[in-house]
Amino acid sequence: MDILTAPASSGIRFFWVPCPSPACAEHIGKEAVELRLAACANILPGMSSIYRWKGEIQHDEETVLVLKTTVERSQELTDLVVKLHPYEVPAVSCLPVDGGHPPFLEWVRQETTPPS
């Protein structure tokens, strides 16, 4: 099986979480991986965000945190991100992964399985 023939739903989810700083993203990412709620955390600094907040247009520099997990761990991961994130309303987006390299997808599943 390859990326083109993988099942339509892999059971894997990527989370997209803008953070106010690389340090914030690292803190959340490290906790998520240590708790096995995410297999991996990617930190992408240097994102510019323009948005409306409480009636005012805002322009901020942010850092993107991408977390890789499974459907089964998604709610716990969301709860952790919301708990640790400093924003009043953190933008936590969960994106389905419809396919991918099967060994990678299996690695995500293995790394997010709680220890027995």
Residues 6+ apart with CB under 8 A from 109: 11, 12, 70
The answer to whether position 96 is within a domain reads yes
Q: What is the pLDDT of residues 61-92, one digit of tens each?
A: 999 999 999 999 999 999 999 999 999 999 99
Q: Is 47 helix (H, G, I), strand (E, B) or coil?
A: strand
CATH code: domain of residue 23 = 3.30.70.120
The answer to whether position 2 is within a domain reads no
Q: What is the pLDDT of residues 7-64, one digit of tens each?
A: 557 899 999 999 999 999 999 999 999 999 999 999 999 999 999 999 999 999 999 9
The answer to whether position 61 is within a domain reads yes
Residue 48: domain span: 12-111
The answer to whether position 5 is within a domain reads no
Count how many domains the chain has. 1
